[in-house]
Structure 1
Amino acid sequence: MNIKQAAVLLEQEGIRVEATGQSIHVIPVAQDENIYKLEKRDEQWVYLFIQYERNSEGREMIVNTFRDETEAANYFFLVTLQSSYFQKYIFTFKEKNTSLKIGTPSFTMSALQKALSSLQVVHTSFSFFDEEVAPHSIHLKRVSPTECKVQYIGNNKQVVFETIELEDWDAYSAMFDYVYLLALLDQKCKNLAENHQIEEAFSDEDFAIFLTA
């Protein structure tokens, strides 16, 4: 993936971006809105957080660096898409289903199961506790009577990443987010492949970037 392709794919999702051969960033809604920007500097690409709020005159902080345009554009596409999906789908779901109490200490295991069932995602994409893990899935691992970790399982059934120990309700909330995000990116990948818009499938590491952005 290059900058031009990332821009095209994000625009297809309704995400307005400004792109040149040397940089790309999401066009902010407000003039004083903070932005993330990817740009080439010397022989490397840098992913920047640029602060405009609170009368800041564009103060920059380097978040990540990359060796080449392909790696950099791929990262920008994934983290930007995740941010959009989180607002468009996950935040909206939580607003419409406040009775589930996702993200609060009152969020229970039964509420998590109810939330996941309403997403109509296949059960092979997630597993709980002692259930056998499946390739390319999200697993909820019990680590104490009151704490869990959430793991992303790769295509070879290896743990690609896991959260720190979280209180049950917090882990259940993270589990919901990750399962929903995984399903969304899987569908996006399927659409891109069918339309011949990507040459290679995203790797386990790419999915990890997307999930943890």
Structure 2
Amino acid sequence: MDVRQVSRLLNELNIETVIGQNSLEEGREQGENYYKIELNNSFWELTLCKELNDNQKVIKNFPTESSAAKYFYLFELNKYFFNKYIFPFELQNKDINIGEFNCSIEDLKKAFNRLNIKETYYSFTKMNKPHSVYLEGINNTESKINFIGENGKIVFETEALDNWLAYYAFFKFVYYLYLFDEHSKKLISKNEINANFEDEDYAVVLS
């Protein structure tokens, strides 16, 4: 991926971008904070820009345009998936308590059933499914979430969270995983990419 391809792909999702000779940044209203990637000497940087005080904070460095552009794309997809799919589902399905203090595992099962997300994407009992999210109970009141990679090993795990917070994070991670899988299939079918994204790429979208 390069900045021009990423800009075009994001624009196709109605995500506004501003492309420069060696930069790509989020479109925004005047006075809004925004993120950008930009070549600085021999490295690319992801930077948070605060317009009101003209302050810039470097978030991450990249050795190549390709790695920076891909990360920016995944970073933007995270926000796009949440705003387009995840948050609207929460609002339209208040009866199953997603994100609420009284959310239960049964509520999570109902949510995934309504979304037609197969059980291959998640587990409540065992860490035995590659490319899935595992909800691990710590005690009666706390749980943590593990993202399992294609090789069956943990890519990342959260800290122990109160159950209702863990359930909400679990719901989002599973839905992100499903959405990114579907999106990746479309990119491959259109020859935008020639191979599946890696576990670390999924971790960016899920985070």
Normalised to the residue count of structure 2, the TM-score between the two structures is 0.96
**For structure 2, which runs of at least 5 residues remain unmatched after alignment?**
none
The answer as to 2:94 corresponding to 1:98 is: yes
Match of 1:24 in 2: 24
Counterpart-to-counterpart distance in 2, 1:187 and 1:50: 32
* Deviation, structure 1 residue 193: 0.6
* Deviation, structure 1 residue 132: 5.0
Secondary structure of 1:39's counterpart equals strand
8 A Cα contact 2:132 2:148, kept in partner: yes
| Deviating more after overlay: 93-102 vs 187-196 | 93-102
Alignment equivalent of 2:183, drawn from 179, 185, 188:
188
Match of 2:115 in 1: 119
Counterpart-to-counterpart distance in 2, 1:13 and 1:133: 35
**For structure 1, which runs of at least 5 residues remain unmatched after alignment?**
none
Counterpart-to-counterpart distance in 2, 1:132 and 1:20: 45
Shift of the 59–117 alpha-carbon distance from structure 1 to 2, 3 Å rule, reads: same
8 A Cα contact 1:3 1:21, kept in partner: no
Counterpart-to-counterpart distance in 2, 1:21 and 1:5: 13
Counterpart-to-counterpart distance in 1, 2:103 and 2:87: 16
Q: Percent identity?
A: 34
Cα deviation 1:146-182 (Å, max 9, x = unaligned): 1111111000100000111011111111110011111
Match of 2:149 in 1: 154
Alignment equivalent of 2:199, drawn from 174, 187, 204:
204
Normalised to the residue count of structure 1, the TM-score between the two structures is 0.93
Read off the aligned partner of 1:13 and give its amino acid letter. L
8 A Cα contact 2:138 2:144, kept in partner: yes
Secondary structure of 1:144's counterpart equals coil
* Deviation, structure 1 residue 133: 2.2
